[in-house]
Structure 1
């Protein structure tokens, strides 16, 4: 069995072609998608503000370490695309930032 790594992936994008109905729906729910609700989850956590210009999705992706960060980014972007399309929300310019939590160095302060 291959070694599994846990990745935290932030997928960022811009809203595009939102209908009046989708804009109204996003604005009605904006208080549940702000700074206080940002977290990394396997299903993804969507964050945006009232300007409805940009958004971010935060994912926890577990995949084979040999596949690397590129695969984690691709998996997260696919999840984000599917979720946004299922919700009928237009978007563009997806890009990802990946952190491998298993190789992350933690500096402890000396006492």
Structure 2
């Protein structure tokens, strides 16, 4: 019985707001202080950041998936989570794109003393 190694990925999903209703804009602006860069962190649930211009947004996710599936699968899973969250919140978006980093294979360069 072989088990597939699980890797942890940090995925950044970026997109643009699109077709926001007046109600959606008002809600986003009312909550903007809760979604600034200071609150942005990688979480399994996803962390959403945007500013008052309401042009674009960023989600940050921690995705755990099979190492054999690679960064492309992790990115696809994160984009799916972002789409679901945006749809459930009734927020219009376009141009989703993502970048994933495999935290298990990332090399850490330490400065020599």
Q: TM-score range by the shorter chain?
A: over 0.9
**1:1-111 pair list within 5 angstroms:** 1-111=3-113
- What residue ranges of structure 1 are gaps of 5+ in the alignment? none
Task: Give 1:78 shift.
Answer: 0.2
Q: TM-score, normalised by structure 2?
A: 0.97
- What residue ranges of structure 2 are gaps of 5+ in the alignment? none
Aligned residues: 111
Deviation sequence 1:42-98 (CA, Å, 0-9, x none): 010000000000000000000000000010000000000000000000000000011
Segments of 4+ in structure 1 off by > 3 A?
Answer: none
Task: Give 1:109 shift.
Answer: 1.0
1-structure distance, mates of 2:22, 2:38: 26
Classify the secondary structure of the residue corresponding to 1:9.
strand
1-structure distance, mates of 2:82, 2:108: 29
2-structure distance, mates of 1:69, 1:38: 21
2-structure distance, mates of 1:46, 1:107: 29
